[in-house]
Amino acid sequence: MQIKALILAKRRGKIDAQSVALRDNYTMNLKTQTLLRLGYSEYRPLQEQAIDALCSGQDVLLAAPTGGGKSLVYQAAGLIRQGVAVIVSPLLSLMSQQVEELNARGIRAKFLNSTLNPGEQDDLVWALRHKHIDLLYLSPEKLVQSSVIGFLHSIEISLFAIDEAHCISQWGHFFRPEYSQLGQLKAFFPNVPIIALTGTVDQKTVVTIQSSLQLTNCLVMKNSFDRANIKLQIAQKRKAKQQILYFLHHEVPGESGIIYCRSRKKTDELSGWLRSLGLPSLSYHAAMPEEEKQKNHAIFIKQHGTIMVATTAYGMGIDISHVRFVVHLDLPSSPESYFQEVGRAGRDGKPAKSLLLYGLQDMLQAQQMAAFHPLAAEKEMQHLGSLFRILENRGCRRQNLLSHFDEEIPACQYCDRCLSNRSEQNMTTASQKLLSLIYHTKGLQPFSSLIQILLGKKTKAVAAIKGESSSLFGKGKELNEAQWKSVIRYLLAYEYISVGTASVFTLYINEKARAVLQGKTQIIIPTEYYYPTLSEEELALDSANWHKILAWKYSNASITLSDTQLRLICLHKPASVASLSRLTGLSKESVATFAGSLMQVLHDTYSEKAHTLCP
């Protein structure tokens, strides 16, 4: 009756206070019902404000970290407004995942992409014309087709949602050019609100997105990018595989996580090596058959304790709540990429961990790879430079990272720097020696030869360039090789020196280095830190099996066995309910509920050759 009264009042042109109250009450109820339909009981920060803006017809740009609940905004607004919400997504897997989840909740969602046969496309067109669909997902390539634009003109559109909108800035001109063509939506559908959604981006990218999509009257909303539940650890690479073993065994045993590598070959090799040590591991990269990628992705979702070793192909749209860690074996391409990839851990809000390993050689290789992008080399180098400065800067890791996104926070007390309170070193004199040596060798010698000269080493490389005759030969023995590399990394990161991108290795001393040589600028560097290592021999087979036992525990949340009880079980390997009852001190009735699945894990595990002790 209240809704009928509101409709009559509108028809008469009389909207009094009571009618306004009725309207607001109706809207509130509709929002609440929609929120519940989507499986949520309350809003996260900014969600309701963004939904209200869209429902009023205003364009929105929403930037929030991975796991910030961006999809709820366009799904809810699309269900509240009249018509079909059109969602642009760059990945087929992301489309199908979201459509499947929405359909499971009774929400009418479909996708339009190349996987549909002509008959299925005809059925979809019929359903859209007869208003049987609320949310339609498609790729940017599909949306910009003139036939699709023409068809959309024939139906009522509630809103356009551009997901992963940072692709406009990162890919728009050479990899996914269709993203840069989405600006025509505002010209074709001037009265349909657009929401652009993106993860962790800087202000320059925000401006680029607004300009490309022609969002003139746009509500820009940025949530805090801080994911305080993720522990940030960044360390120098030394025996990287053994460092990863230490992390897996001592920090995240039995947990699910992702290890990112740059190359496909390294991905397969590392995954195979982990499996050979008894750790459940899969690989994922663009060269794999689609069927195998989907199979590995499905296993990773369902099988707790699995380690996914992947390139960045395993990226956007990965929404798995139980990922507890992310490791970077190679450098990401930018601060945005690093934060987005790290943000795939701990999406459930529970504690998670990250580890990035790198060294001087990684920085040089990353620069070389960036230079291979003929249409975007300059932009790629700028992104890398920002990342290098975050890695080499002093103080709190989280503070340094968030400052890149114009966000100021106090020291987090949770990253590796805050927890260790490591000292710093004044490397101004050392920097002066290195800069002078680069000058006297005309920038033509690799860093390894320069370090050998400074350390006074009589190697073939030093002899070949007559390094022993240099006035700086042996004048840098106050530092070891690792410390000299840290000086070089810092000078590279802050652009006191730069490396040429031509085929011949060339070093350049930049103008700002003059202040260092004159003693006007001090070079203060954090003390070098190496993450611990664990050898294959130390990781006994039973230690690897400990990961599987813990993975079983984590996947059965209702079971409350302590680690002490699990170690006893792991040591004695009970084969019956009675023996399991004696070991744990629990009744036969209580252990019978989980004995079958636990003993299956135990005896599948121990069917291999095993050592006799657990960790």
497-545 confidence digits (pLDDT tens): 999 877 678 999 999 999 999 999 999 999 888 899 998 887 765 565 7
Is 535 part of any domain? Answer: no
Within its chain, how far is the Cα of 244 from the centroid?
A: 18
Q: Is residue 17 predicted with pLDDT exceeding 70?
A: no
Q: What Rg value do the Cα atoms of the chain yield, rounded?
A: 29
Of 127-141, 292-306, 372-386, 429-443, the range with the lowest mean pLDDT is 372-386
If phi > 0 it is left, if psi is from -120 to 50 it is alpha, else beta; for residue 131 that is left
Provide the pLDDT confidence category of residue 8 given band limits of 50, 70 and 90. Answer: very low
Exposed, middle or buried: residue 224 (CB in 10 Å: 0-12, 13-18, 19+)?
Answer: middle
Q: Check: CB of residue 466 under 8 Å from CB of residue 331.
A: no
Q: Is residue 22 predicted with pLDDT exceeding 60?
A: no
**Residue 7 or residue 193, greater confidence:** 193
Q: Check: CB of residue 43 under 8 Å from CB of residue 35.
A: yes
- Which residues make Cβ contacts (< 8 Å) with residue 582, sequence separation at least 6? 574
Q: What is the DSSP letter of 344?
A: T
Q: Is residue 66 predicted with pLDDT exceeding 80?
A: no
The pLDDT > 90 percentage for the chain reads 48
- The residue-averaged pLDDT of 410-417 equals 92
Whole-number Å distance between alpha carbons of 201 and 382: 14
Is 32 part of any domain? Answer: no
Last residue of one domain, picked from the residues 203, 222, 241: 222
Residue 510: strand, helix, or coil: coil
Q: Check: CB of residue 399 under 8 Å from CB of residue 412.
A: yes
Per-residue model confidence (pLDDT) at position 593: 86
Provide the pLDDT confidence category of residue 28 given band limits of 50, 70 and 90. Answer: low
pLDDT in tens, 129-144: 999 999 999 888 888 8
Domain coverage including residue 589: 541-605
Q: Is residue 481 predicted with pLDDT exceeding 90?
A: yes
Is 532 part of any domain? Answer: no
Per-residue model confidence (pLDDT) at position 366: 92
Within its chain, how far is the Cα of 489 from the centroid?
A: 24
Per-residue model confidence (pLDDT) at position 173: 45
Q: Is residue 124 predicted with pLDDT exceeding 80?
A: yes
Determine the length of the chain. Answer: 615
Angle between helices 17-37 and 47-55 (to 10 degrees): 120
Provide the pLDDT confidence category of residue 195 given band limits of 50, 70 and 90. Answer: very high
pLDDT in tens, 553-562: 888 878 888 8
Q: Tell me the C-alpha to C-alpha distance, in Å, between residue 382 and each of 55, 389, 508, 574.
A: 38, 11, 17, 58
Is 135 part of any domain? Answer: yes
Per-residue model confidence (pLDDT) at position 176: 56
What tokens were used for 39? 């499986």
Host H or E run for residue 112 = strand 109-112
- Same domain for 272 and 400, yes or no, is yes
Q: Check: CB of residue 223 under 8 Å from CB of residue 68.
A: yes
- Same domain for 60 and 164, yes or no, is yes
Is 615 part of any domain? Answer: no
Whole-number Å distance between alpha carbons of 527 and 482: 11
Last residue of one domain, picked from the residues 204, 222, 240: 222
Per-residue model confidence (pLDDT) at position 30: 79
Domains: count for the chain: 5
Q: Check: CB of residue 94 under 8 Å from CB of residue 252.
A: no
Per-residue model confidence (pLDDT) at position 477: 96
Provide the pLDDT confidence category of residue 607 given band limits of 50, 70 and 90. Answer: very low
CATH assignment at residue 518: 1.10.10.10
- Same domain for 332 and 456, yes or no, is no
pLDDT in tens, 217-229: 899 988 888 889 9
Q: Is residue 362 predicted with pLDDT exceeding 90?
A: yes
Whole-number Å distance between alpha carbons of 323 and 320: 6
Whole-number Å distance between alpha carbons of 112 and 118: 11
- Same domain for 80 and 174, yes or no, is yes
Whole-number Å distance between alpha carbons of 439 and 275: 49
Is 612 part of any domain? Answer: no
**Residue 219 or residue 566, greater confidence:** 219
Provide the pLDDT confidence category of residue 63 given band limits of 50, 70 and 90. Answer: confident
- Same domain for 573 and 483, yes or no, is no
Whole-number Å distance between alpha carbons of 30 and 487: 60
What tokens were used for 389? 């400065």
Per-residue model confidence (pLDDT) at position 25: 59
- Same domain for 218 and 108, yes or no, is yes
Per-residue model confidence (pLDDT) at position 610: 37
Is 368 part of any domain? Answer: yes
Q: Is residue 412 predicted with pLDDT exceeding 90?
A: yes
Q: Is residue 282 predicted with pLDDT exceeding 90?
A: yes
Per-residue model confidence (pLDDT) at position 6: 42
What tokens were used for 92? 């087929």
- Same domain for 456 and 598, yes or no, is no
- Same domain for 166 and 243, yes or no, is no
- Same domain for 6 and 97, yes or no, is no
CATH assignment at residue 397: 3.40.50.300
Is 210 part of any domain? Answer: yes
Q: What are phi and psi of 518, to 5 degrees?
A: -85, -5
Q: How many beta carbons lie within 10 A of that of residue 48, not counting itself? A: 16
Q: Tell me the C-alpha to C-alpha distance, in Å, between residue 569 and each of 16, 252, 566, 588.
A: 72, 20, 5, 15
User: Which residues pair with residue 159 across a beta bridge?
Assistant: 85
What tokens were used for 479? 């530092």
Sign of CA dihedral 484, 490, 495, 500: positive
Whole-number Å distance between alpha carbons of 468 and 470: 5
Q: What is the DSSP letter of 503?
A: S
Of 46-55, 242-251, 592-601, the range with the lowest mean pLDDT is 592-601
Per-residue model confidence (pLDDT) at position 202: 77
Host H or E run for residue 508 = strand 507-509
Provide the pLDDT confidence category of residue 444 given band limits of 50, 70 and 90. Answer: very high
Q: Is residue 118 predicted with pLDDT exceeding 90?
A: no
Whole-number Å distance between alpha carbons of 177 and 190: 22
Q: Tell me the C-alpha to C-alpha distance, in Å, between residue 41 and each of 37, 70, 350.
A: 9, 16, 19
- Same domain for 340 and 198, yes or no, is no
Per-residue model confidence (pLDDT) at position 26: 54
Last residue of one domain, picked from the residues 420, 449, 482: 420
Residue type, 297: H
**Residue 475 or residue 589, greater confidence:** 475
- Same domain for 238 and 210, yes or no, is no
Compute the mean pLDDT over every residue in the chain, rounded to the nearest whole number: 85
Q: Is residue 91 predicted with pLDDT exceeding 80?
A: no
Q: What's the distance, Cα to Cα, between the start and end of the chain in Å? A: 69
Q: Check: CB of residue 197 under 8 Å from CB of residue 75.
A: no
- Same domain for 234 and 322, yes or no, is yes
